[in-house]
Amino acid sequence: MISDLRPLNCDVCVIGTGLAGMAATLFSAARGLSVVQAGHTGEIIFASGLLDLLGVYPVSEKRLWSKPWAAIDALVRDIPHHPYARLKKEDIKDAFDEILTFLEEAGLPYHRRMDHNSGVLTSLGTIKSTYCVPHTMWKGVKALEEKPACLIIDIRGLKGFSARQIAASLQNGWSDLRSAQISFPDTDHLSEVYTEHMANALLLPHNREKLAQVVAPHVKESKIIGLPAILGLYRTREVISHLEELIGVPLFEIPTIPPSVPGLRLKEAFERGLRPKSVQYFSLKRALQVRQPADGHFETHIGSNDVEHIVHSRGIILASGRFIGGGLHADRTRIRETIFDLPVYQPDSRTEWHRRNFLDPRGHLINQAGLEIDDAFRPLNSSHQPAFETLFAAGSILAHNDWKRLKCGAGLAVATAFGAVKAFIRLCR
């Protein structure tokens, strides 16, 4: 029974286990705050592993930016309600510095050019502009720029990845680019293979030796090889180094469709790195109910279906995501926020959620839906005042951001989590 549960006391309760939730937990714990985190399903496993800052703006003009900080200046000038406009540029930079240091210490290093985006090859043969690139993909960034003799490997049964299409799409500008198809070892009997299973298999040295034997006959004059992102769920440096030694040329990964191995690596790196920081983490649990007793603190009931934990906290950071994460829910008449029933910025009528043309360059208005906030990242009530003094929000649940089309999802998550934690400390200490 609920009355028999012993409450957990903490400074901050973080609701959500996507990138924004993980970042908020890290930033809080690193500043000496006690944290309880819970989330049902983290959208982080659907991530490509790339950490975007801002790649496209305005989307209607399909303008690509090589300098993301200049792009942010243009964005906040034109869209003053965008979450980036609530942050100083120095705070965004500090947030990225802290996240990348943490991930490297957790065994997941990233590379970036401080003031420039980098081009990354995708599974469709297009070029994605991004800010931070996992070390497993960085050699591909260099290859894309230098155009050496390159082989792209396709794996039979892997959906959503076509080495042949990649090579064909880039042939005009990269003449010495070839493709080859192989069967992943011991999967000839399968009609479909999965990236996570192959990544797990490559943790064992003898499976890496089998893969190298299959790839070797196709290498020929190639100076570098690109493969789907399957080179180990963990210990990726060890896996890649061993395979490069066996095959004899450098390797790089190409992002695959979600759920992806790089997304799983991110999730595991956060969980692994946060464990020593005394964070109380409840995976696959959700906030069933939140109350605010007379003392002003929050009481959050956490569990799957029944209440399994009660958390008393001075503040809450709501990073529950949009529709996939369960932070927002759409019924036949409106979009609602699922935990506090906070007002959601949205079109007046459901008929305005989507435009008739799916590829309309103006985008769909539903992608702007979310919580409106003040400069302290506190969600607003119907009177445009903070709904609660110490409730903060971060990530994709915030209104006025079409992060998918702007290519700023990771940046939005990391930066707004940083802003929310700073605001909590400023208001509550």
3-state secondary structure of 18: coil
- 1 has pLDDT over 60: no
Q: Which domain holds residue 220?
A: 123-254
Residue of 109, 105, 106, 131 whose CA lies nearest to 414: 131
Q: Are residues 272 and 366 in the same domain?
A: yes
Would you say residue 117 lies in a domain? no
> Does position 429 have pLDDT exceeding 80, yes or no?
no
Q: Which of 203, 235, 254 is the last residue of a domain?
A: 254
274 and 383 share one domain: yes
- Six token digits for residue 206: 């003898």
Indicate the range of 42-46, 192-196, 263-267, 405-409 predicted with least confidence: 42-46
With cut-offs at 50, 70 and 90, classify the pLDDT of residue 62: confident
User: In the prediction, which pLDDT does 294 show?
Assistant: 67
Residue 65: predicted pLDDT: 92
141 and 73 assigned to the same domain:
no
User: What is the structure's pLDDT at 221?
Assistant: 94
CATH of the domain at 328: 3.50.50.60
Q: Are residues 133 and 274 in the same domain?
A: no
Query: Predicted confidence band at 2 (pLDDT cuts at 50, 70, 90)?
Result: low
Question: What's the confidence (pLDDT) of residue 48?
Answer: 87
**Residue 259 falls within a domain, yes or no?**
no
Give the strand pairing for 110-112 and 286-291.
unpaired
Confidence of residue 206 (pLDDT cuts 50, 70, 90): very high
Instruction: List pLDDT tens digits, range 171-187.
Output: 888 999 999 999 999 99
Q: What is the pLDDT of residue 296?
A: 78
pLDDT-derived band of residue 211, with 50, 70 and 90 as boundaries?
very high
Give CA separation, 26 vs 32, 75, 91, 105, 167, in Å. Answer: 10, 27, 15, 13, 40
Comparison of pLDDT for 55 and 295, the residue scoring more: 55
**Quick one: average pLDDT of 349-378?**
86
Would 160 be classed as within a structural domain? yes
Identity (one letter) of the amino acid at 380?
L
pLDDT of residue 183: 95
Res 74: pLDDT: 95
The token duo for 105 is 């210490």
Q: Same domain for 98 and 180?
A: no
Within a domain: 213? yes
Q: Which residues contact 113 (CB under 8 A, 6 or more apart)?
A: none
Q: In this model, does residue 69 exceed pLDDT 70? A: yes
- Which CATH number do you get for residue 246? 3.40.50.1860
Identify the pLDDT of residue 283. Answer: 85
Q: Report the pLDDT averaged over residues 88-105.
A: 97
Residues 171 and 305 both lie in one domain: no
Which of 175-189, 200-214, 326-340, 344-358 shows the lowest per-residue confidence on average (mean pLDDT)? 344-358
Residue 114 domain-assigned?
A: no
- Give the Cα separation of 339 and 334 in Å (integer): 15
Q: Which of 116, 108, 113, 152 is nearest to 134 (CA)?
A: 108
Determine whether 121 is exposed, middle or buried from the number of CB atoms within 10 Å of its CB (0-12, 13-18, 19+).
Answer: buried
> Do 304 and 382 sit in the same domain of this protein?
yes
Q: What is the mean pLDDT of the chain?
A: 93
At 298-339, the pLDDT tens digits run: 999 999 889 999 999 999 999 999 988 889 999 988 999 999
Percent of the chain with pLDDT over 70: 98
Instruction: Give the pLDDT band of residue 347 (cuts 50, 70, 90).
Output: confident
Same domain membership, residue 210 and residue 177: yes
Q: Which stretch of 39-43, 352-356, 361-365, 400-404 has the lowest confidence by average pLDDT?
A: 39-43
Residue 392's DSSP bridge partners are 317
Residues 8, 12, 18, 23, CA torsion sign: negative
Region 188-217: what's the mean pLDDT? 95
Q: What percent of the chain has pLDDT over 90?
A: 78
- The answer for residues whose C-beta is within 8 angstroms of residue 408's C-beta and 6 or more apart is 52, 53, 54, 55, 84, 401
**Rounded average pLDDT over 265-293:** 90
Domain count, the chain: 2
Place of tokens 């009530």: 381
